[in-house]
Amino acid sequence: MNDSRKAVFTDRIASDRGTARDAAARALKMRLETIAVHAGAEIDSTTGALAPPLHLSTTFEHGPAGEAIHEFLYIREKNPTQSRLEAALRDLEGGAAALVFSSGMAAAAALLQTLTPASHVVFSDDIYIDVRNLVRDFLPMWRVESTKEDLQDLQVLEAAIRPNTKLVWIETPSNPLMKVLDISAIADIAHQAGAQLVVDNTFASPILQRPLALGADVVLHSTTKYCGGHSDVQGGCLVVKNRELLDKLFHVRDILGAVASPFNSWLILRGLRSLPLPCRMERHSENAAVVAAALSVSPRVEAVYYPGLRSHRGHEVARRQMNQFGGMLSFLVRGGREEALRVASCVKLFVNATSLGGVESLIEHRASSEGKASNAPQNLLRLSVGLEHPDDLVEDLMQALG
Ligand SMILES: Cc1ncc(COP(=O)(O)O)c(C=O)c1O
């Protein structure tokens, strides 16, 4: 490379970094709606493009001795489209940094892989089935100890803590029982024991709940869900407060390779732009509230699990720590498994499908989809309430319930 080209490139990198830093500093003072639109959205310095460029290059020019003259070297380490998504997620969750992964499970596994043998983790009992399967099938091989408890009761957590407890891992609201856990209180207990708290914030999204501000140390997302928002992309992320943990996670991701692809990063970044309250999350929450209210007065329904209902055990905690109650809910059909399956087979608008957080409404018999390891009641149906008109959704469920 001749020296004049190098100088131009070096200047451009310096100014790009400056812009990103300034944007991050500004973002801290901005409201979530504004952050969602502007974080990671620096204008492309070579073309002036407002929409983020999709950089597919796997490799980047470096200096003769491998100097990273353009910041990037190799796609698995980091790439420009992915860095923009990380900036956006970092600012939305209010963390020090974010790392994005090829899936939510890859993010979960990476976090557990930072633990040394003989560490102990306390998990809340109602967590995503494949995280439970990861704990069952892999932690013993990695010599990491684990305990699974119902952490709605804080005394249970205090009793579960051991001298070697390094992490407390919770999901709130939880999948599929919609348990609400008190993030601040759990963070205090974890910290007193010298452990860190990780919150899987997938169901709430950063728009409805910001665990780091409530005391958590790490936030996990399956960005496949609300962050992507259109059921067309898979991804995961970890947002951290702590640089030491970031370095460990970066090493795990780089060496084990479960990094997000540029195209997936680009799609998720696009999804994030419309996530805030006046758009998607508000509508998901409002629709779910209407559906939950209708189900809770149906004689065919035994119970409705939605944190927005006053009758929900975690309602007061949810009011304190969430902006709205989200688009996920579960309900128990009177008449057991067969009746629940019948209802699921009679819906016309809801689609029988797994996953959540897309624009379309989904229904799922969780016990069937989770398989043998499932804790879900046999008459439980989980709903991911989409962005359709709520009256159409209620009518569909009512005709299916009969
Ligand atoms: C709460 C929660 N966490 C993590 C995951 C895993 O994410 P992914 O499917 O992107 O690996 C899921 C997937 O459904 C989930 O619902």
Question: Atom 6 in ligand 1: which residue has the minimum CA distance?
Answer: 104
Which pLDDT value is given to residue 16? 38
Q: Give the C-alpha separation, 158 to 357, whole Å.
A: 33
Q: Is 364 in the pocket of ligand 1 (CB under 6 A)?
A: no
pLDDT tier, 276 (very low <50, low <70, confident <90, very high otherwise):
confident
For residue 21, the model assigns a pLDDT of: 44
In this predicted structure, the answer to whether residue 279 has a pLDDT above a threshold of 90 is no
Cα(302) to ligand 1 centroid in Å equals 27
Decide whether any atom of ligand 1 lies within 6 Å of the 173 Cβ: no
Give distance in angstroms: CA of 67 to centre of ligand 1. 37
Q: Say which of 200, 283, 305, 382 is annotated catalytic.
A: 200
pLDDT tens figures, 209-230 = 999 999 999 999 999 999 999 9
Give one word for 180, left, alpha or beta, with left for phi > 0 and alpha for psi -120 to 50. Answer: beta
pLDDT score recorded for residue 348: 93
Contacts of 283 (CB under 8 A, 6+ apart): 387
pLDDT reading at 401 higher than 80:
yes
- Is the pLDDT at 171 greater than 80? The verdict is yes
Q: Is 285 in the pocket of ligand 1 (CB under 6 A)?
A: no
Residues 9-21, mean pLDDT to the nearest whole number: 35
CA distance 383 to 358: 12
Give dist(CA 166, CA 327) in Å, integer: 32
Instruction: Indicate if the pLDDT at residue 22 is higher than 50.
Output: no
Judge whether 74 counts as a catalytic residue.
no
The whole-number pLDDT of residue 37 equals: 80
Q: From the CA of 105, how far away is ligand 1's center (Å)? A: 6
Check pLDDT > 50 for residue 3.
Answer: no
The catalytic position among 6, 26, 74, 76 is: 76
Pocket of ligand 1 contains residue 223 by CB under 6 Å: no
The pTM for the full model equals: 0.86
CB of 224 sitting under 6 A from ligand 1: yes
Angle formed at CA 252 by CA 119 and CA 202, multiple of 5 degrees: 80
For ligand 1, pick from 131, 135, 202 the residue to mutate: most ligand atoms within 8 Å of CB.
Answer: 202
Told to judge if 200 belongs to the known catalytic residues of this protein, a careful annotator would answer yes
128 is known as an active-site residue: yes
Which atom of ligand 1 is nearest to 354's Cα?
Answer: 14
Mean pLDDT of 113-133: 97
Give the ligand 1 atom nearest the CA of 355. Answer: 14
The 10s digit of each residue's pLDDT in 338-383 is: 999 999 999 999 999 999 998 889 999 999 999 999 999 999 999 9
From 190, 213, 236, select the one nearest 322 (Cα to Cα). Answer: 213
Is ligand 1 within 6 A of the CB of residue 234?
Answer: yes
* Cα–ligand 1 centroid distance for 128 (angstroms): 7
Digit-coded pLDDT (tens) for 36-58: 888 898 889 889 888 899 999 99
Calculate mean pLDDT across residues 392-396.
95
Q: Which of 225, 241, 253, 382 is catalytic?
A: 225
* Choice from 89, 111, 126, 128 to test ligand 1 binding pocket (greatest atom count within 8 A of CB): 128
Average pLDDT over residues 132-156: 98
Q: Is 384 in the pocket of ligand 1 (CB under 6 A)?
A: no
* pLDDT at residue number 28: 52
| pLDDT of 157 over the 80 cut | yes
Q: What pLDDT does residue 149 have?
A: 97
Residue with the larger pLDDT of the pair 277 and 206: 206
Task: Identify the residue whose C-alpha is closest to ligand 1 atom 14.
Answer: 355
Average predicted confidence (pLDDT) for the chain? 91
Contacts of 181 (CB under 8 A, 6+ apart): 124, 151, 152, 170, 171, 172, 174, 314, 317
Say yes or no: CB of residue 167 within 6 Å of ligand 1.
no
